[in-house]
Structure 1
């Protein structure tokens, strides 16, 4: 009888120990899972830039990285996927694993125009929108020693010499391309379009004499103002970065054009991760020191939440369909 009781007690103790082990393992798994979510990111995050190193998109992201590093333990690893006016890099973001460890910079209207007119390997539905960080008006610029001193002189030359004026732009189906089409449509000029992979390449081409004029952005020209002359800015009002430069409207042309820069993640990224990214980017965008750095770099900061940024992109998509149809560039 005693032996039986001992056997029973021993079995009971073994059973209790086994239950405790299983319970402990279960709790451990649950805690590890919740800890993993709380600690995101647990490894470096890939940051895809669709334009050349040293260009406007890269410069802005580098400034943002400085403040990301103050808030998040894991760094960004920059990857440059250039070409086709950004379409190669944007597609790379879209097709990346939606695990929170690949994000990237996008430009508007590029991400709208390229799927519509080029059949790009992505659409505006392939992204989770984190935020907009820049609203960068476009400009018409020449080399400092250029014979062109005004927009009127450029247009007069182009009208008298069809297709002789070499105009540099970054990519086709980009904001630069769209502005050039708008300029040609409203003035009737015919030019030779010269396409570059990124702003750094385009600036070098202008300064090296490969092209006569370039359509760029405020930030594209800020780092080379000593060597360039900006003839006009395509904004409603004069830029605070270029207060002495007239708007196209002042020059008699109704042209308003800009490039918005923002950040996205691949579609399907965990909503909690997307929210973490949105919250972190918002904190950075509101940091007074970040805004000072942006101004020093000639980056026209303008924050827009992920939800509002996506809404803006979809609105531009509808407007761009009309414009591309007008020029016969809408891809069937």
Structure 2
């Protein structure tokens, strides 16, 4: 039952080497993500010009920029994208407009992104490992080669969750019940074989129990189902629950050590289950064929935005775990996540 551990450890260790480049973190309560920083159009243009002079690119956008988010408004991805875009406007010099194109476990939005004109005016967030697992499982109309990495934004550790009024107070309680009642427990996921479904399967395989997965259209709907009592447990990330901490209980974390923000919550490995880090990354990419000077411009602008003290404060309040990676590091992250999906996650349902 444990033959996947070695392959999982090798793949996820590679991913974690990438995430060591993280430039900041956040773990506090949710904050309002709708209020943009006070700044004028002229100030934004001036900041972008200064970024160009100091950075590697002479290209700057002449009109507003569209950022495709492949999940619905109010989802964890949408919230983190809005936090960043509000402060990145200062360095991009134009407004970044979020375009939510949800559906198909992200495939609708990512297909639109892959087919967008590579002119610097359409960018997008890609969620890992779901972007890769969609390809591996034959659910995508795009390939990994359809995107050019700009930077990574977020690395988030996966959590095992139950509703606040759940009968389960510990992960051991949940696992024991699941073993005594095979297939009875239901878990909501953010889509068939999407990131949170992979997490639930990692837990079930390593703890040797059966459950019934119920796929929803995204993490927001998945967690609503959990809070409304439609399912028994879920796997999601910290930023996903930042606005609902009083409505859920965290029973375990997918990491090799306890999280600073949740010191009383055990790791799965402590309890004898999956003992490697698992979670999600959210990276910013452009369509294939986007000129290098445009990639360089945005990599520099987003880096400056993620280092901006006002952004850092807003991200911490929103529970956003910032982990900037440059284009080269982000490409390695994409490659490592694809390897994880081909070598590890794709086999979780075949044992």
Question: TM-score band, normalised by the shorter chain?
Answer: 0.7 to 0.9
Are 2:61 and 1:46 equivalent residues in the alignment? no
Residue equivalent to 2:82: 62
Residue equivalent to 1:284: 305
Higher mean alpha-carbon deviation, 315-324 vs 105-114, is at 315-324
Structure possessing the higher radius of gyration over alpha carbons: 1
Are 2:306 and 1:266 equivalent residues in the alignment? no
1:250 aligned counterpart, secondary structure: helix
Higher mean alpha-carbon deviation, 162-171 vs 173-182, is at 173-182
Q: Which runs of 5+ in 2 are unaligned?
A: 1-56
Residues 107-256 of structure 1 aligned to structure 2 (within 5 Å): 107-255=127-275, 256=277
Deviation of residue 241 (structure 1)?
A: 2.5
1:63 aligned counterpart, secondary structure: helix
Contact 2:225 2:231 in 1 (8 A): yes
Q: State the TM-score, normalizing by the size of structure 2.
A: 0.80
Residue equivalent to 1:315: 336
Q: Which runs of 5+ in 1 are unaligned?
A: 1-36
Cα shift readout 1:161-183 (whole Å, capped 9, x = no counterpart): 12210101111232212222222
Contact 1:175 1:257 in 2 (8 A): no
Q: State the TM-score, normalizing by the size of structure 1.
A: 0.84
Question: What's the RMSD between the two structures over aligned residues?
Answer: 1.7
1:53 aligned counterpart, secondary structure: coil
How far apart in 1 are the matches of 2:59 and 2:290?
Answer: 16
Q: 1:324 to 1:200 in 2, by over 3 A?
A: closer
**Higher relative contact order at CA 8 Å, sep ≥6: structure 1 or structure 2?**
2
Cα shift readout 1:179-198 (whole Å, capped 9, x = no counterpart): 22222221221111011122
Deviation of residue 327 (structure 1)?
A: 4.0
How far apart in 2 are the matches of 1:217 and 1:325?
Answer: 21
Deviation of residue 92 (structure 1)?
A: 1.3
Are 2:337 and 1:306 equivalent residues in the alignment? no
Deviation of residue 243 (structure 1)?
A: 2.4
Q: 1:187 to 1:328 in 2, by over 3 A?
A: closer
